[in-house]
Amino acid sequence: MALRKLVAGNWKMHGVSSDLEQVRAIAAEAARFPQVDVALCVPAILIERAARAVPGFAIGGQDVHQAAKGAHTGCTSALMLVDAGAVLTIVGHSERREAQRESDDEVKAKAEAALSVGLSVILCVGESLELRESGCAVETVVAQLDGSVPSNLDGEAELAIAYEPIWAIGTGKIPNSGDIAEMHSAIRSKLRERFGSDGEQVRILYGGSVKGSNAAEIFAIPDVDGALVGGASLTAGDFIPIVAAAAASTVEGGRVIA
C-alpha cells in the first residue's frame, strides 16, 4: 500500500533569525499541497522562533539526547524539544554517527526517548561509498536499522526511516533507481519482520542530493514514501518544487505527521 508522502527539510547548521522569512514562505507555499506532509528540522536554538512563526506547521529538531535530564552539557532533551514547539526530530543522521561517534544503541535510545514524549522520529541509516562499492550496502544498512529502531511502535508518535547513502549527501550524486528500490524494499522487509503489519505503515524516506529536478523520478520508486532534504530545503524556491513533485505522485490515506 502506498503511504502519504512526507517531505522533511534538514537545515543542519544553517539558519538565523533572518531565515525565518524562508520558514514562513515554505509553510505558506506548502499549504497548497495538503496531500503531502511537510516538515522543517531546524537548529535547536531556532525551533521556538520557527514554531511561533508558523503555527500548525511541523517544526522539528535534528537530534535529541536519550536521557530525560541531567549533567549533559550542551545537549537537548526530548521534553525541551516539545517545550520549544517541535513535533518531530531526526535521530542518527550520518553526520552525527560519524562526527559524534553515535552508535546504533545510542540512536535507538534517542528514538525511544523522543517517541515516549510524543515526538515523531525520522531515524537515519545509510552506507559509506566503500561499503557500497564492496557490495555490502544492503546488509550494512539492514543491520544498522535492526540495531537502531525502537523496541516497539506503541504510542501516537510516528517513526519514519530515512535511507541516506553517505556518499550521496551534498555531492549531487544519487544511487540509480534500482539501487534505491532494492534498499527500500530490504528496509521494508526488516520493518515487517520487526513490527508485523505496523511495519507497513512506517514511511521510508530517501535522502541525499534530492532536488526539484530529480524528485519526481525518486518519488516514483516503490517504497519511497518521501524525502529528507538538506541543501535544497533552505529556501522555498528550492524546496517547494520537491513538495510539488511529492504531491503529483501522492495518494490519499496514510498517517499524518504533527
- Looking at 169, 183, 202, 257, which residue binds ligand 13P (CB under 6 A)? 169
> What CA–CA distance (Å, rounded) separates 116 from 51?
21
- Name the CA dihedral angle for 9, 13, 18, 22, rounded to a multiple of 10 degrees: -10
Phi, psi angles (nearest 5°) of residue 60:
-135, 170
Q: Which residues contact 18 (CB under 8 A, 6 or more apart)?
A: none
Does position 44 interact with ligand 13P (CB under 6 A)? The reply is: no
Query: How far apart, in Å, are the Cα atoms of 83 and each of 11, 52, 77, 118, 178?
Result: 20, 12, 10, 12, 42
Residue number with CB closer to ligand 13P (195 or 240): 240
- Residue 204's DSSP bridge partners are 161
Does position 208 interact with ligand 13P (CB under 6 A)? The reply is: yes
Query: Considering CB under 6 A, how many residues would be counted as binding ligand 13P?
Result: 14
Residue number with CB closer to ligand 13P (118 or 212): 212
At residue 72, the 3 state secondary structure works out as coil
Residue number with CB closer to ligand 13P (111 or 195): 111
Minimum CB distance to ligand 13P, residue 1 (Å)? 26
Minimum CB distance to ligand 13P, residue 125 (Å)? 12
Phi, psi angles (nearest 5°) of residue 205:
-95, 150
Indicate the residue type of 51: A
Does position 10 interact with ligand 13P (CB under 6 A)? The reply is: yes
Does position 80 interact with ligand 13P (CB under 6 A)? The reply is: no
Query: Which residues are known catalytic residues?
Result: 93, 164
Does position 209 interact with ligand 13P (CB under 6 A)? The reply is: yes
Residue number with CB closer to ligand 13P (51 or 122): 122
For 115, the enclosing helix (H) or strand (E) is helix 104-116
Minimum CB distance to ligand 13P, residue 71 (Å)? 29
Residues that bind ligand 13P (CB under 6 A): 10, 93, 164, 169-170, 207-210, 228-232
